[in-house]
Amino acid sequence: MLRGQPHWLHPALQGLPQDPLSVWLERAWKITLSVLMLALSIALAKPFLNAQMVEKVGRGAHVMIVLDRSASMNEPFVSKGDAQARLPKMQVARDVLKSLVKQGQDDLMGMVTFSTSPILAAPLGNDRAYVQAALEATEAGGMGFTAVARGVGMALDYFADQPVTGARAIVLVSDGGAHLDGKTQDMLRAMFMRQQAALYWIYLRSENGVSLKQSLAEGENIDAYPEVALHEYFQTLHVPYRMYEAENPQAVKAAVRDIAKLKNKPARYLQPVSRQDLSQYAYWLAWLAACALLGMLQLELKQWQA
Amino acid sequence: MVYLQHADASPPQAFEPRQFFYNIHWRAHTYHAGATLTAHHGNGTDFAGFSSLLACPDPKRIDIRASVRSVPQQWLVRTYLERAAIHVYAVLDVSSSLFFQSTAAPSASTMRQQLTEFVASLAWSVTRQGDAFGLRAANDTAQASLLRLPSVQPGTAQQVAQQLAAYWQQALVHGQQQGQGASAMPAAIESIGAQRALVFLISDFYWPDSLLQRTLKMAQPHDVVPVVLRDRAAVQDLPAFGWARLRDMESGAERSWMLRRGLHQRIQAHAEQQQQALHRQLVNAGTRAPLWLAPDWRAEAVSRHLMETMA
């Protein structure tokens, strides 16, 4: 006979009393042993809860930052002041945008940089560190031309397959414009209409750049001033549009503050939760069972001694 | 009296036979000379009555006073009863529970040794008294190696001791210390035959009721002395505290006992109840009062018990 437990032999048990406490002790022993084995096998199988998306509701906007990285961004603002204020426009824009990113906790943010062609820096999401890192990555100096249309188009693409769960905004940070041909203009207009995204243009005016606040003088050719042409085109988009002309860092900050107030709609978004290891609970259970078994083992009779 | 017949024998085979005495209140039926009264007249010393000289022509035993008193006058002769031997059987239960051996007890006093000692002493006493000793043993089957027909040979006790020692060894080798009941006991008693004999029924009597009743029914024609051999460690000298898993040696049933004072009391109450019930059942079935054999039994005490329970 193959038996797991050692038993004391007894000549005659049939007439002797059953003890309920002992019966339950025996049952507890068996149950605990089963639980131990089960918990250990479950623990070894390493169960986990899959990565999940948790839906969160916050007040905020979906903001895509479209940052110009053309060579001209390396130049300082128009400023006659001291040398300390003569920071490159890029640096000013970066610092201010960083504070914008830091502010809105419930905002979804993404970033596209562009010079000759657009580069996706950070997809639209709740991951702030991602956007911060992308902003820090712009410390390398800019180069190339200003392809506004393609940058804005790419940013709009990120709204394309997302539900409208918050105010959508595109923050275009640029120091110059570019001519858009008719086809591109129509396409952009259609995209803006479809995505219902507001457009904020932070125009970083260069030292000898044109101001967009006053209209052009009589007889000047609009084609010589692409910024003006872009401004006029943006006004025809049928979406909320605002332009902030920033001639110095303080103006940039003011513009960003305005944008931060935009959180008018409750934004609904999904936040990913990393997968959860469940084996630790099984290990805890196994540990408890092992402790209980040890306790019962201590109770057990080692020697038949009166 | 120290009796060591086999000088080279190992310790279990050495035995010290103790003699005890028994009396019988019924008549022997054999014709072998012995100590027990028979029903037939003969050459004994126990007066039976008077009979006519013509019927019993022994002039040495003419009783003149009785002859003179008789009307009509005739010669009367005193007659005497003969004494003869009886058959004494030891019927052993060698089921698994007899192999019980508490680890705490010194190995010298296992139940097997007690049993061997008692049976050898019985054989010794029986042959000393001039009676014939026979042996039967059974667990779930009758044990042929322990079968002895009644004999009056002087060396019976030594042979029985040897036989038993060899049997215990064999049984241990064949693993009979577990799973063997005593279901062949009725058959073992039946095999003695119908002639009345003195039967020592030696067992621990950890039997189911039905088996006990069947055995006692088979033992009806005989004068039965139940000898109860129980190890105290099984119910009385239990460990003070601890969780013990127990297995019944015969049925294999398992039980867990969380030993503590309350349970000790309950177990002992049950054990006492069992003892009383056993006593009642045995006596009701017409046996003598059971002899409870302690490990340190004394021949005098056994003699006394046998004399007391004679009638």
Choose the most confident range, by mean pLDDT, from A198-207, A246-255, B27-36.
B27-36
Q: Which residue of A has its CA nearest to B242?
A: A301
- Whether A16 is covered by a domain: the verdict is no
The mean-pLDDT minimum among A127-131, A278-282, B50-54, B299-303 falls in A127-131
**% of chain B beyond a pLDDT of 90:** 59
Output the CA–CA distances (angstroms, integers) from residue B199 to A217, A256, B145, B223, B233, in the order listed: 144, 116, 19, 6, 28
Q: Which of A1, A17, A22 sits opposite B258 (nearest CB)?
A: A22
CA A43 to chain B, closest CA, distance in angstroms equals 31
Do residues B110 and B197 share a domain?
yes
Range of the domain at A283: 23-49+277-299
Which residue is associated with the tokens 């069972």? A289
Tell me whether residues A15 and B204 touch, CB distance under 8 A.
no
* C-alpha to C-alpha distance for A110 and A158, rounded to whole angstroms: 9
Do residues A120 and A40 share a domain?
no
Choose the most confident range, by mean pLDDT, from A33-47, A67-81, B93-107.
A33-47
Tell me whether residues B243 and A15 touch, CB distance under 8 A.
no
Nearest to A111 by CA among A119, A103, A269, A194: A119
- Whether A4 is covered by a domain: the verdict is no
Contacts of A14 (CB under 8 A, 6+ apart): B206, B208, B248, B251, B253
Taking 50 as the threshold, does the pLDDT of residue B135 lie above it? Answer: yes
Contact list in B for residue A11 (CB cut-off 8 A) is 96-98, 100, 204, 206, 230-231, 234, 248-250
- Quote the number of domains for chain A: 2
Do residues A204 and A130 share a domain?
yes
Interface A-B: count of C-beta contacts within 8 A: 116
The sheet carrying B291-293 orders its strands as B148-151, B132-138, B87-93, B198-203, B223-229, B291-293
Do residues A131 and A262 share a domain?
yes
Do residues B52 and B184 share a domain?
no
Tell me whether residues A11 and B255 touch, CB distance under 8 A.
no
Q: For residue A84, what pLDDT is reported?
A: 59
Contacts of A259 (CB under 8 A, 6+ apart): A63, A100, A169, A171, A200
Do residues B46 and B91 share a domain?
no
Do residues A108 and A82 share a domain?
yes
- Whether A9 is covered by a domain: the verdict is no
pLDDT confidence bin for A1, thresholds 50/70/90: very low
Backbone dihedral angles phi then psi of residue B288, each to the nearest 5 degrees: -75, 170
- Whether B1 is covered by a domain: the verdict is no
Contact list in A for residue B208 (CB cut-off 8 A) is 14
Taking 90 as the threshold, does the pLDDT of residue A76 lie above it? Answer: no
3-state secondary structure of B261: helix
* C-alpha to C-alpha distance for B225 and B233, rounded to whole angstroms: 24
Tell me whether residues B243 and A299 touch, CB distance under 8 A.
yes
- Whether A18 is covered by a domain: the verdict is no
Tell me whether residues A304 and B204 touch, CB distance under 8 A.
no
Angle between the N-to-C axes of helices A249-260 and A89-103, in degrees from 0 to 180, rounded to the nearest 10: 30
pLDDT, tens digit, 9 for 90 and up, residues A77-86: 655 556 555 6
Do residues B179 and B48 share a domain?
no
* C-alpha to C-alpha distance for B259 and B242, rounded to whole angstroms: 5
Q: For residue B2, what pLDDT is reported?
A: 41
The first and second tokens of residue B24, run together, are 């019988």
Do residues A44 and A175 share a domain?
no
* Beta-sheet pairing, B132-138 with B148-151: antiparallel
- Whether A230 is covered by a domain: the verdict is yes
Instruction: Find the chain B residues whose C-beta atoms sit closer than 8 A to any C-beta of A.
Output: 96-98, 100, 102-104, 177-178, 204, 206, 208, 230-231, 233-235, 237-240, 242-259, 263, 266-267, 270-271, 274
pLDDT, tens digit, 9 for 90 and up, residues A212-270: 777 766 667 777 777 888 888 888 888 888 888 877 777 777 777 777 776 556 666 77
Do residues A291 and A257 share a domain?
no
Q: Which of A11, A21, A300 sits opposite B234 (nearest CB)?
A: A11
* C-alpha to C-alpha distance for B302 and B297, rounded to whole angstroms: 8
Segment (H or E) for B181: none
Q: For residue B12, what pLDDT is reported?
A: 47
Q: For residue B4, what pLDDT is reported?
A: 41
Q: Which of B96, B239, B254 sits opposite A301 (nearest CB)?
A: B239
Do residues A232 and A103 share a domain?
yes
Do residues B145 and B285 share a domain?
yes
Do residues A70 and A39 share a domain?
no
Do residues B246 and B276 share a domain?
yes
pLDDT, tens digit, 9 for 90 and up, residues B166-191: 999 999 898 888 888 899 999 999 99
Contact list in B for residue A295 (CB cut-off 8 A) is none
Q: Which residue of A has its CA nearest to B273?
A: A15
Do residues B65 and B122 share a domain?
no
Do residues A89 and A28 share a domain?
no
Do residues B133 and B215 share a domain?
yes
Tell me whether residues A12 and B271 touch, CB distance under 8 A.
no
Contact list in B for residue A28 (CB cut-off 8 A) is none
The mean-pLDDT minimum among A49-53, B61-65, B101-105 falls in B101-105
- Whether B3 is covered by a domain: the verdict is no
Instruction: Find the chain A residues whose C-beta atoms sit closer than 8 A to any C-beta of B.
Output: 1, 5-19, 21-23, 25-26, 296, 299-306
Do residues B74 and B206 share a domain?
no
**% of chain B beyond a pLDDT of 70:** 93
Do residues A44 and A79 share a domain?
no
Backbone dihedral angles phi then psi of residue A65, each to the nearest 5 degrees: -95, 125
Q: For residue B295, what pLDDT is reported?
A: 85
- Whether B182 is covered by a domain: the verdict is yes
Q: For residue A82, what pLDDT is reported?
A: 61
- Furthest CA-CA distance within chain B: 87
Taking 90 as the threshold, does the pLDDT of residue B202 lie above it? Answer: yes
Q: For residue B131, what pLDDT is reported?
A: 94
- Quote the number of domains for chain B: 2
- Whether B158 is covered by a domain: the verdict is yes
Residue type, A37: M
Do residues A210 and A255 share a domain?
yes
Contact list in B for residue A298 (CB cut-off 8 A) is none
Answer with the residue of higher pLDDT: A118 or B146.
B146
* C-alpha to C-alpha distance for B166 and B61, rounded to whole angstroms: 54
Tell me whether residues B97 and A12 touch, CB distance under 8 A.
yes
Taking 50 as the threshold, does the pLDDT of residue B11 lie above it? Answer: no
pLDDT, tens digit, 9 for 90 and up, residues B289-310: 999 998 888 999 999 999 999 8
Range of the domain at B49: 33-84
Q: For residue A137, what pLDDT is reported?
A: 82
- Asked if residues A252 and A175 have their Cβ atoms less than 8 Å apart, the reply is no
- Whether B4 is covered by a domain: the verdict is no
pLDDT, tens digit, 9 for 90 and up, residues A125-184: 778 888 888 888 877 766 777 778 888 888 888 888 777 767 788 888 887 777 778 888
pLDDT, tens digit, 9 for 90 and up, residues B251-270: 888 888 888 899 999 999 99
Domain boundary (B51, B84, B117) is at: B84
Q: Which of A15, A19, A302 sits opposite B257 (nearest CB)?
A: A19
Choose the most confident range, by mean pLDDT, from A44-48, A118-122, A151-155, A268-272.
A44-48
Q: Which of A11, A19, A26 sits opposite B97 (nearest CB)?
A: A11
Contact list in A for residue B100 (CB cut-off 8 A) is 9-11
Contacts of B152 (CB under 8 A, 6+ apart): B32, B85, B127, B130, B131, B132, B133
Query: What is the pLDDT of chain B when averaged over all its residues?
Result: 88
Q: For residue B9, what pLDDT is reported?
A: 39
What is the DSSP secondary-structure string of chain A?
Answer: ---SS--EEES--TTSPP-HHHHHHHHHHHHHHHHHHHHHHHHHH--EEPPEEEEEEEE-EEEEEEEE-SGGGGSBPS--S-GGG--BHHHHHHHHHHHHHHH-SS-EEEEEEESSSEEEEEEEES-HHHHHHHHHHTTSPP-S---HHHHHHHHHHHHHTS---SEEEEEEEES------HHHHHHHHHHHHHHTEEEEEEEE--TTPPPSSSPPPTT--GGG-HHHHHHHHHHTSSS-EEEEEESSHHHHHHHHHHHHTT--SEEEEEEEE--EE-HHHHHHHHHHHHHHHHHHHHHB-SS---
- Asked if residues B41 and B82 have their Cβ atoms less than 8 Å apart, the reply is yes
Taking 70 as the threshold, does the pLDDT of residue B7 lie above it? Answer: no
Residue type, B20: F
- Whether B2 is covered by a domain: the verdict is no
- Whether B138 is covered by a domain: the verdict is yes
- Whether B291 is covered by a domain: the verdict is yes
* C-alpha to C-alpha distance for A3 and A10, rounded to whole angstroms: 16
ipTM value for the complex: 0.77
pLDDT mean over A208-213: 72
Q: For residue B10, what pLDDT is reported?
A: 45
The CATH number for B177's domain is 3.40.50
Tell me whether residues B256 and A26 touch, CB distance under 8 A.
yes
Contact list in A for residue B270 (CB cut-off 8 A) is 15-17
* C-alpha to C-alpha distance for B21 and A30, rounded to whole angstroms: 56
- Whether A8 is covered by a domain: the verdict is no
Do residues B52 and B168 share a domain?
no
pLDDT confidence bin for B106, thresholds 50/70/90: low
What is the DSSP secondary-structure string of A105-155?
Answer: SS-EEEEEEESSSEEEEEEEES-HHHHHHHHHHTTSPP-S---HHHHHHHH
* C-alpha to C-alpha distance for A185 and B56, rounded to whole angstroms: 160
Do residues A42 and A127 share a domain?
no
pLDDT mean over B42-62: 90
Tell me whether residues B247 and A8 touch, CB distance under 8 A.
yes
- Asked if residues B30 and B178 have their Cβ atoms less than 8 Å apart, the reply is no
Q: Is A14 exposed, middle or buried (0-12, 13-18, 19+ CB in 10 A)?
A: middle
Residue type, B204: D
Q: For residue B3, what pLDDT is reported?
A: 43
Do residues B103 and B128 share a domain?
yes
CA B210 to chain A, closest CA, distance in angstroms equals 14
Q: Which residue of A has its CA nearest to B241?
A: A301
Taking 90 as the threshold, does the pLDDT of residue B278 lie above it? Answer: yes
The CATH number for A233's domain is 3.40.50.410
3-state secondary structure of B1: coil
- Whether A180 is covered by a domain: the verdict is yes
Do residues B55 and B150 share a domain?
no
E runs forming strands in B58-155? 76-84, 87-93, 132-138, 148-151
Output the CA–CA distances (angstroms, integers) from residue A260 to A102, A177, B191, in the order listed: 11, 24, 111
3-state secondary structure of B184: coil
The first and second tokens of residue A289, run together, are 């069972």
